[in-house]
Amino acid sequence: MAITPGRAGEAADYALCLDEARLPLNARLGQPLRLIWTGAIACTHCGRATKKSFAQGHCYPCFKRLASCDTCIMKPETCHYFAGTCREPEWAERHCFQPHVVYLANSSGLKVGITRRTQVPTRWLDQGAIQALPILEVDTRQQSGFVEMLFKEEVSDRTNWRAMLKGEVEPMDLAQERDRLLARLEGGLANLRERFGADAIRELNDTPIGLDYPVLEFPRKIVSHNFDKAAEVAGTLMGVKGQYLILDTGVINLRKFTGYEVELG
């Protein structure tokens, strides 16, 4: 699914990426939608057919070989590049040794997260956040991991996706949360600056941004569709938020089914 940020005050624009076509979703709100999984899964990296999807759309060989599928991507503080064991050092140099931001977001309450500078604001839309604020910038992914570990002493790094999908999220003052957390974690941040250099962790002075989604009506109860259990997913499209389609018959996390060959019914 492709997401384009909305202009100020407008909902994000969603499109479903099918094999040959892009299906704009915002225009289909309130209309019936029927998706049928053909049973095929193609690796999003090499295109090979795979019986099972690993790490959101990879075949097993790619899952074992690609640096982007290594556990250090999810846990950047475990980066092992300097041990000489990086799966793809050149890929790492392009992706991990790039400025990263540590941000606060409000997806189902306050959370902390990290992302590459270039992934903002897509990353927040992916998570269904209604507000976000970059607070610190660092030079590498590993450093962002250490900063996130520190923040996790005070803030969750998870989204309660059920609450996110029910729209049960109160707006909050992210700038105030930033100031509170930076003050509270001052000692820990000083330790990291001692380790990586005084300029390694830079405070940002950004303004919080609001994010809006095309949703007619939030579900009161969450029922999940799953292509692995039923190849056909049908209902009236009530909204799109994060990586989820919200149908009147249930929700589906399309990210989970990346690489699945799906036809429009």
Kindly tell me which of 48 and 255 has the beta carbon lying closer to Zn ion: 48
76-115: which residues touch Zn ion (CB under 5 A)?
A: none
CB of 126 to Zn ion, least distance (A): 22
Kindly tell me which of 87 and 158 has the beta carbon lying closer to Zn ion: 87
Q: For residue 234, how far is the Cα from the chain centroid?
A: 25
CB of 36 to Zn ion, least distance (A): 24
Length of the chain: 265
Give the CA distances from residue 87 to residues 43, 70, 80, 154, 203, in Å, rounded to whole numbers and listed in that order: 19, 8, 9, 33, 32
* DSSP bridge pairs for 239: 215, 246
CB atoms within 10 A of CB 122: 15
* Site stretch for Zn ion (CB under 5 A), options 39-47, 100-108, 204-212, 229-237: 39-47
CB of 53 to Zn ion, least distance (A): 10
Kindly tell me which of 21 and 46 has the beta carbon lying closer to Zn ion: 46
CB of 43 to Zn ion, least distance (A): 3
Determine which residue in the list 3, 33, 43, 181 makes contact with Zn ion, applying CB under 5 A. Answer: 43
Kindly tell me which of 61 and 99 has the beta carbon lying closer to Zn ion: 61
Residues 6+ apart with CB under 8 A from 213: 11, 12, 125, 128, 239, 240, 241, 242
Kindly tell me which of 66 and 163 has the beta carbon lying closer to Zn ion: 66
Ranges assigned E (strand) in the chain: 2-4, 13-17, 22-24, 32-41, 100-106, 110-116, 131-138, 202-203, 209-210, 232-241, 244-247, 250-253, 260-264
Give the contact letters, 45-64, x = binds to Zn ion (CB under 5 A), - = no.
xx-x----------x--x--
CB of 97 to Zn ion, least distance (A): 25
Residues that bind Zn ion (CB under 5 A): 43, 45-46, 48, 59, 62
